Amino acid sequence: MRILKGIAASSGIGIGRVFLYVHEKLVVPHQPIDEGKTESELTRFKSALDTVAEELEGMGKAAIAEDHRKILETHLLMIQDPDFTDAVENLIHTGHICAEWAVEQVLSGFIEILESSEDAMLRERSADLYDIGWRVIRQMMGKRRPDLAAISDEVILVADSLLPSEALTLDPSNIKAIALNGGGRTSHVAILARALQIPTVVGLGNITSKVAKGDEIIVDGNLGEVSLRPSIASAKKMRDRYARWVEHEQELHELASFEAVTKDGHRVSLKANIETVDEVDSVLDHGANGIGLFRSEFLFLKPGGASEDEQFEAYRRVLERAKESGPVTIRTIDVGGDKVIPGMEGLGEDNPILGWRAVRFCLSRKDIFRVQLRAMLRASAYGKLKIMFPMISGPEELENVLLVLEQVKEECRKTGIPFDEDIEVGTMIEVPSAALCADLLAPKTDFFSIGTNDLIQYTIAVDRGNDKIAYLYQPFHPGVLRLIRMIVEKGHDAGIPVAMCGEMAGDPLSTVLLLGMGLDELSMSPQSLLEIKNIIRSITLAEAKELVEKVMKMDSFININTYVREWMHDRFGDFVTA
């Protein structure tokens, strides 16, 4: 047996056989052909079309989710559209080029036209066309990529990486666990894995070259370890540990209906982070006080994006379903970086993480931004909705987004669209410049929510998804802790509540420190909520403040980590400090 060490990204243990998934860069052959080969190229093209169409039909019949089935139906129509097929056939005839090259050329021409269209619906179709065109090219090149949505056996998915759009298609009843070469605990795929409740370890280096399809492996998402080809004895040991963990989780469940109040009576609001509408059930099940972060961009990651009505429906459904738990904070789209939506492909930015993302994207694509704000305002008539802006870097940017919001509100008033006139608007603090001028931002906003995933990334200059430098990604870095304390102070000085919605909010190791620093609200994946509630209910605010004072005098994250870990271990044992 061999054990690989990675980063624990989603708790639980999965035991099963490997399904290998590696992204391979395709180079389309640019092959001129003789007149005599035209017919055979046409035949190759038609037969690839038939195979892909058959596959799409089969997948459409098997699709469980309505959204997914509709996408597959659209793809089927596209592949049968004579505008597309005639153009490819003509090019093979007249251009004397091989079929793959012809599809590639026709595809890029069509996509260019769609992307420059005034009609948002047409622009949204470009991603579908891209997807379907490449499916045909892959088929002809014999380089088909397995369809993750079609995995029907229970397997462990071992991959080099996963795009958020790929992770969204996974069916948790078949994927027992995920093990990835790359990624960090706060990478978006890790966040999605937690949302799907699939045990996951990321940052494993080169696991894809160390296992073969069908190998038996164990993924321990609590410890961040993967055991390759385990012996019967070690598989049993793992199963026992897993059983103890399940028991502990069941005990925690009894806390669902209790408040998160310290022994000396200090209450903290515990909310949930969600990425999809379906997660609301889990929010209710874990007794959250509402939703502190709905990452709305995940609605846009599917081919075709999300129209105003689709967004409105999704927001309204979340509000109505989550009503009994509390208010719902929806974040405007934070696209860019690893979350590329239709209309953003092929930007080729050198530094996408520092580039055209979140409100920066929205302020230059006001067409998309306004549509989203209108959908949110419309939904606000159906429950307590709060709007939150990501990646604000300073007061001007905040003023600019608030101005657009005011314009959209005015439009709604004029056209008689009802919305909540008292809607609260929050600012995410996740860029160091915003943290440093929190006092200037606080008077312009109703609440702060600290996005530690990005705040840590930008403060320490450490890519949150890069496993090679993951050792530097330290929530307890004195620089990070000072910033957090400062944001809370500045927010409170201005009389606004300060929340945290980054992954640090759901990390049991951080709970007492955050409580002592004065955070009013912690928002996290629903699965972490009860563990955090248990910790809060077991201590006093006075103890938490004492711990903060002690830690703030320490001079390195190593010392802080060791001290806090021991402090927590003494009181809460293994499952909190694993």
Which x/- pattern over 480-509 shows residues binding ligand PEP (rule: CB under 6 A)?
Answer: ---------------------xx-------
**Separation CA 398–CA 443 (nearest Å):** 11
Indicate the residue among 262 and 457 with the shorter CB distance to ligand PEP. Answer: 457
The interface with ligand PEP within residues 119-158 (CB under 6 A) comprises none
**Separation CA 88–CA 101 (nearest Å):** 9
The interface with ligand PEP within residues 296-355 (CB under 6 A) comprises 334
Complete DSSP assignment for 37-104: GHHHHHHHHHHHHHHHHHHHHHHHHH--SHHHHHHHHHHHHHHT-HHHHHHHHHHHHHH-B-HHHHHH
Q: Which residues of 61-81 are buried (b: 16+ CB within 10 A; e: fewer)?
A: eebeeeebeebbebbbebbee
Indicate the residue among 139 and 372 with the shorter CB distance to ligand PEP. Answer: 372
Partner from ligand PEP, Mg ion, none binding residue 295, C-beta < 5-8 Å depending on class: ligand PEP
Indicate the residue among 325 and 452 with the shorter CB distance to ligand PEP. Answer: 452
141, 113, 100, 135: which is closest to 303 by C-alpha? Answer: 135
292, amino acid identity? G
**Separation CA 157–CA 152 (nearest Å):** 12
**Nearest approach, Cβ of 435 to Mg ion (angstroms)?**
13
- Identify the active-site residue in 98, 362, 412, 501: 501
Q: Which residues contact 53 (CB under 8 A, 6 or more apart)?
A: 76, 79, 80
**Nearest approach, Cβ of 186 to Mg ion (angstroms)?**
9
Interaction site with Mg ion (CB under 5 A) = 430, 451, 454
**Separation CA 432–CA 428 (nearest Å):** 11
**Separation CA 446–CA 499 (nearest Å):** 11
Indicate the residue among 428 and 509 with the shorter CB distance to Mg ion. Answer: 428
The interface with ligand PEP within residues 268-297 (CB under 6 A) comprises 293, 295
Residue with tokens 């995920």: 178
Assess contact for 187 and 204: CB atoms under 8 A: no
**Nearest approach, Cβ of 431 to ligand PEP (angstroms)?**
10
Measured in whole angstroms, the distance separating CA 302 from the mean position of its chain's CA atoms is 13
225, amino acid identity? E
**Nearest approach, Cβ of 430 to ligand PEP (angstroms)?**
5
**Nearest approach, Cβ of 222 to ligand PEP (angstroms)?**
21
The interface with ligand PEP within residues 413-472 (CB under 6 A) comprises 430, 451-454
Assess contact for 295 and 274: CB atoms under 8 A: yes
Indicate the residue among 156 and 501 with the shorter CB distance to Mg ion. Answer: 501
**Catalytic site includes residue 412:** no
- Identify the active-site residue in 75, 188, 286, 477: 188
**Nearest approach, Cβ of 158 to Mg ion (angstroms)?**
27
Task: Using CB under 6 A, count the residues that bind ligand PEP.
Answer: 10
Q: Is there binding between residue 181 and ligand PEP (CB under 6 A)? A: no
Token pair for 523: 């928002």
Q: Which residues pair with 20 in a beta bridge?
A: 158
105, 112, 71: which is closest to 89 by C-alpha? Answer: 105
Assess contact for 336 and 361: CB atoms under 8 A: yes
Token pair for 246: 């399940």
DSSP structure class, residue 461: T
Indicate the residue among 133 and 491 with the shorter CB distance to ligand PEP. Answer: 491
**Nearest approach, Cβ of 453 to Mg ion (angstroms)?**
5
| 395-415 helix and 366-379 helix, angle to the nearest 10 degrees | 60
Partner from Mg ion, ligand PEP, none binding residue 230, C-beta < 5-8 Å depending on class: none
Measured in whole angstroms, the distance separating CA 456 from the mean position of its chain's CA atoms is 17
**Catalytic site includes residue 477:** no
Partner from ligand PEP, Mg ion, none binding residue 408, C-beta < 5-8 Å depending on class: none
Partner from Mg ion, ligand PEP, none binding residue 501, C-beta < 5-8 Å depending on class: ligand PEP
Indicate the residue among 78 and 274 with the shorter CB distance to ligand PEP. Answer: 274
Binding region for ligand PEP (CB under 6 A): 293, 295, 334, 430, 451-454, 501-502
Would you name the residues annotated as active-site residues?
A: 188, 501
